[in-house]
Amino acid sequence: MTHLYGAFEPRGSDGGSRVGVRYGDRVLDLAAALDPELAAQVAGPNLDHLLAGGPAVWQQVFDAVGVLEPADEHLHDLADVRLLMPFTVADYVDFYSSEHHARNLGRILRPGQPELPPNWRHLPVGYHGRAGTVVVSGTDVVRPSGQRRTAESEVVFGPTTRLDIEAEVGYVVGVPSRLGSPVPLGAFADHVFGVCLVNDWSARDIQGWEYQPLGPFLGKSFATSVAAWVTPLAALDAAWVAPPPRDPQPLPYLDDAGTAPAGLDLRLEVRLNDNLVSVPPFAQMYWTGAQQLAHMTVNGASLRTGDLFASGTVSGPEPGERGSFIELSWNGAEPVELADGQERTFLEDGDEVVITATAPTADGGTIELGEVRGRVVAGRD
Ligand SMILES: O=C(O)/C=C/C(=O)CC(=O)CC(=O)O
Ligand SMILES: [Ca+2]
Ligand SMILES: [Mg+2]
């Protein structure tokens, strides 16, 4: 058993979608396996009902899953099911909280200017994304078309020539909050159910032309992939680590000095066509999920069940720890070598990207988060 929760539908059945827990290469029909009272908490086609249940219910289900001895009849081979979106995405926010990523992008896109914008160390910079185009792992990603400006300053339209990934970790909100009531740092675990891996696909040429002054728009809204599996915070007890030191000290609503460690020691791996191209370290993120949540609601903006907020691209200090190809290839100047003698700057049609991650456990082992996988297919004419 692993504590990975998702939604699945047995192939060729008309029984519909339901909540599943991952057992190796099988998936357990959770509602069928739990006693009726707890089963009611995981009712429905996906995790939405469980998410709304709140921390006491989450813990009850987690504990029950931990001691289940499921009957074979409730287990389905992964090969015989279709994995679906694990929850209904309400709002989607994406942050920019890796200092290494932000500095790299500053150097690449804004040479001659300070690497970090002046606000960066004072608040977790973010933008609102497009919830309706968040897709489950395994969904093909159609190469988007859009406007871009050529090196000769001509404005043209066509398929992106600089399609990229962003390896990220997403937080899944379960418990809503009231409009007008900020969620303080200490209330993070009252609202957030768990995490899932995210690939924030990005068309760098579209993005570079459109993004000033209001930020990313069509260059990122064509698709964002999430893992089919959500890992509850309860499974990450041994993964909390102190985030890097902050300078300057954040304003009080963001100041986590003296709180329990709020960084997460997740180790990501990014593969392109089965080549390991990067190992981004999530423990080094400057701003934590709790700070992102506090910032996102400090103006009184409310949360809804199913809100997804992503960390921002995870990049570490080393070249092999960068979570995007614009960084790995340094804007195309240094192609990434693949094992078969091929190289890549940005993605080609047919390329498949898989992001995986592990987290430490109390006994010195690791658990795996659910992967996020996506293949690029040619744009439609
Ligand atoms: O620095 C920029 O202009 C652009 C940055 C990004 O595209 C990154 C973004 O989406 C936020 C992140 O993933 O960190
Ligand atoms: Ca992003
Ligand atoms: Mg996106």
Q: What is the pLDDT of residues 156-206, one digit of tens each?
A: 999 999 999 999 999 999 999 999 999 999 999 999 999 999 999 999 999
Instruction: Give per-residue pLDDT as tens, 324-346.
Output: 999 999 999 999 999 989 999 99
Q: Which residue has the CA at smallest separation from atom 8 of ligand 1?
A: 96
Give the pLDDT confidence score for residue 216 in this predicted structure.
96
For residues 244 and 309, membership in a common domain is answered with: yes
Exposure string over 113-148, b if 16+ CB within 10 A, otherwise e: eeeeeeebbebbbbeebbbeebbbbbbebebbbbeb
Which of 84, 101, 121 is where one domain is finished?
A: 84
- Whether the CB of 160 sits within 6 Å of ligand 1: no
For residues 203 and 55, membership in a common domain is answered with: no
Give the closest ligand to the alpha carbon of residue 162. 1
- Whether the CB of 101 sits within 6 Å of ligand 1: yes
Give the closest ligand to the alpha carbon of residue 200. 3
Whether 12 has a pLDDT exceeding 90, the answer reads: no
Domain with 71 in it: what CATH number?
2.30.30.230
Between the alpha carbon of residue 289 and those of residues 96, 169, 182, 273, the distances in Å are 12, 10, 15, 30
Supply the ipTM of this predicted assembly: 0.94
Cα(102) to ligand 1 centroid in Å equals 7
For residues 50 and 143, membership in a common domain is answered with: no
Secondary structure (DSSP) of 284-317 = G-SS-HHHHHHHHHTTSPPP-TT-EEE------S
For residues 348 and 225, membership in a common domain is answered with: yes
Q: What is the mean pLDDT of the chain?
A: 97
Cα(117) to ligand 1 centroid in Å equals 12
Give the closest ligand to the alpha carbon of residue 125. 1
CA-125 nearest atom, ligand 1: 11
Which of 84, 103, 131 is where one domain is finished?
A: 84
Q: For ligand 1, pick from 115, 163, 166, 217 the residue to mutate: most ligand atoms within 8 Å of CB.
A: 166
Identify the band that residue 381 occupies on the pLDDT scale cut at 50, 70 and 90.
Answer: low
For residues 296 and 147, membership in a common domain is answered with: yes
Report the length, in residues, of the chain: 381
Nearest-angstrom CA–CA distance, 278 and 136: 22
**Which residues have a beta carbon within 5 Å of ligand 2, which is an ion?**
94, 166, 200
Q: For ligand 1, pick from 105, 171, 284 the residue to mutate: most ligand atoms within 8 Å of CB.
A: 105
Mean pLDDT, to the nearest integer, of 204-215?
Answer: 96
- Whether the CB of 109 sits within 6 Å of ligand 1: yes
For residues 128 and 44, membership in a common domain is answered with: no
- Whether the CB of 312 sits within 6 Å of ligand 1: yes
Task: Identify the three-state secondary structure at position 219.
Answer: coil
CB 194 within 8 A of CB 11: no
Domain span at 98 = 92-377
- Whether the CB of 322 sits within 6 Å of ligand 1: no
Show which residues are catalytic: 101
Residue 94 parent element (H or E): strand 92-95
Domain with 183 in it: what CATH number?
3.90.850.10
Whether 31 has a pLDDT exceeding 90, the answer reads: yes
For residues 23 and 98, membership in a common domain is answered with: no
For residues 69 and 132, membership in a common domain is answered with: no
- Whether the CB of 199 sits within 6 Å of ligand 1: no
Q: Could you tell me the pTM of the whole model?
A: 0.98
Instruction: Give per-residue pLDDT as tens, 105-132.
Output: 999 999 999 999 999 999 999 999 999 9
Whether 15 has a pLDDT exceeding 90, the answer reads: no
**Number of compact structural domains in the chain:** 2
- Whether the CB of 177 sits within 6 Å of ligand 1: no
For residues 373 and 306, membership in a common domain is answered with: yes
Identify the band that residue 69 occupies on the pLDDT scale cut at 50, 70 and 90.
Answer: very high
Give the pLDDT confidence score for residue 14 in this predicted structure.
73
Q: Which residue has the CA at smallest separation from atom 5 of ligand 1?
A: 105
CB 224 within 8 A of CB 170: no
Instruction: Give per-residue pLDDT as tens, 215-246.
Output: 999 999 999 999 999 999 999 999 999 999 99
Whether 262 has a pLDDT exceeding 90, the answer reads: yes
Give the pLDDT confidence score for residue 2 in this predicted structure.
78
- Whether the CB of 285 sits within 6 Å of ligand 1: no
Q: At which residue do the structure tokens 């804007």 appear?
A: 331
